[in-house]
């Protein structure tokens, strides 16, 4: 799925466009006990309550692709009877009217989701009548050839509200505020099937994690089958290790600045792409060569890639390995933050036999809010 496809589904989570017909849920305590199970028609929910549910669903389809939103393709062996995809397909086709299937679904989550506190599992079913689109991208509400039949699951932490003083209007007193259990925004969730090319793709799904570093691979593998993808922090660490191992003792500031600038330029060239920009093995190799890594060190690249990234040529998502918003230089006692567009202001030089970073300053300098240039001029 791409941004436009996710946005099209998110737009359905408003009262006037909502196509959800059934909602069910299970409240699980910290000991993995089912404290509450419910099922109802979504249209029967009071308006204020409905708004809160719709907000949860919007957040379940929010975030950066490859970090919070991750596309998963089911392995072929999971599409046969008893497989994870086949189970989710039966669950969707039941329109959430089969209590035994829903209960089995809850059990799968409870057995594999790691969370030491209370949480709420919310599952909804919807049928979206996909409108036609003109060449200019305008939706034609009265022209539709396909429907998108899907389920969306949101897993939300349930926490005790904070202790505080409050005003009691009935007694006209300031007193200890009543604490109750509050459903927070989703921490995990998924959309099945995926909405690709403006149609249902039962071979794929979209997984959501609020914290990219908390992907929970065992949870992904148990519910959806196959190998869990690497989290964004894992991709970043692997990329950094690959670069360090390849460059070796030839690593210097100029090469790393070139890597940053070249990677930022590649991302800029692909910023209008529908799909997230990924770098495969050959892309990373060209990136390092173009950034000034010597031929001698590039001879180590292939073996380093296989050792670090594995035999499978797993692509790196550009947004996971690069930061176009910051450029930091760190030493044991110094941190220099540079505007990513002005890395040219910092140069590496050897002065009196020591490696130094020289910062070109043409404008004023401030130290703790004081204009140093003014003080120097006044001396």
* CA separation for the pair 237, 232 (Å, rounded): 9
Q: Considering only 132-136, 187-191, 353-357, which range has the smallest mean pLDDT?
A: 132-136
**What pTM did the predictor assign?**
0.81
Helix axes 99-112, 217-224, angle to 10 degrees: 150
Rg for the chain, CA atoms, rounded: 26
When pLDDT is cut at 50, 70 and 90, the band that residue 5 belongs to is very high
Per-residue tokens: 243:
């670069």
pLDDT of residue 373: 62
Mean pLDDT of 79-101: 95
When pLDDT is cut at 50, 70 and 90, the band that residue 295 belongs to is confident
Q: Which residues contact 116 (CB under 8 A, 6 or more apart)?
A: 30
121, 25 Cβ separation under 8 angstroms: yes
**Is the predicted pLDDT of residue 375 greater than 50, yes or no?**
no
Per-residue model confidence as pLDDT tens digits over 270-281: 888 877 888 888
Name the residue ranges covered by the structural domains of the chain: 3-229, 233-321, 327-378
When pLDDT is cut at 50, 70 and 90, the band that residue 378 belongs to is very low
Question: In which residue are the tokens 């070249």 written?
Answer: 262
pLDDT of residue 322: 80
DSSP string, 7-76: HHHHTT-STTT--EEEEEEEEE-TTS-EEEEEEEEGGGS-HHHHHHHHHHHHHHT-S-BTTTEEEEE--G
Per-residue model confidence as pLDDT tens digits over 162-173: 888 888 888 999
């Amino acid at each position: 799925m791409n941004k436009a496809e996710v946005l099209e589904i998110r737009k359905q989570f408003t009262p006037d466009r909502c196509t959800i017909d059934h909602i069910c849920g299970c409240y699980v305590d910290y000991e993995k006990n089912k404290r509450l199970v419910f099922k109802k028609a979504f249209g029967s929910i009071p308006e204020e309550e409905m708004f809160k549910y719709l907000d949860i669903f919007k957040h379940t389809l929010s975030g950066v692709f490859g970090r919070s939103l991750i596309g998963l393709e089911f392995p072929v062996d999971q599409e046969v009877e008893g497989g994870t995809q086949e189970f989710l397909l039966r669950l969707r086709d039941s329109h959430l009217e089969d209590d035994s299937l829903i209960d089995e679904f809850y059990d799968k989550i409870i057995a594999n989701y790691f969370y030491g506190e209370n949480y709420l599992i919310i599952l909804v079913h919807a049928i979206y009548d996909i409108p036609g689109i003109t060449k200019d991208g305008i939706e034609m509400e009265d022209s539709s050839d396909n429907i998108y039949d899907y389920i969306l699951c949101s897993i939300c932490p349930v926490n005790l509200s904070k202790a505080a003083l409050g005003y009691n209007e009935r007694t006209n007193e300031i007193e200890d505020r009543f604490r109750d259990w509050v459903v927070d925004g989703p921490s995990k969730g998924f959309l099945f099937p995926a909405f690709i090319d403006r149609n249902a793709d039962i071979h794929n799904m979209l997984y959501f994690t609020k914290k990219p570093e908390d992907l929970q691979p065992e949870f992904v593998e148990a519910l959806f089958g196959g190998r869990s993808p690497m989290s964004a922090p894992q991709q970043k660490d692997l990329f950094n290790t690959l670069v360090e191992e390849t460059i070796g003792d030839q690593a210097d500031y100029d090469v790393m600045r070139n890597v940053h600038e070249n990677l930022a330029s590649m991302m800029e060239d692909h910023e209008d792409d529908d799909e997230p920009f990924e770098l495969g093995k050959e892309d990373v190799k060209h990136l390092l060569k173009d950034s000034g890594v010597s031929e001698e060190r590039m001879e180590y690249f292939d073996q380093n890639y296989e050792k670090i990234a594995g035999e499978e040529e797993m692509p790196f998502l550009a947004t996971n390995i690069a930061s176009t918003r910051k450029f930091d230089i760190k030493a044991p006692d110094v941190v220099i933050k540079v505007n990513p567009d002005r890395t040219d202001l910092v140069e590496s030089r050897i002065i009196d036999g020591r490696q130094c970073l020289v910062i070109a300053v043409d404008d004023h300098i401030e130290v703790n809010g004081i204009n140093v240039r003014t003080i120097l001029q006044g001396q």
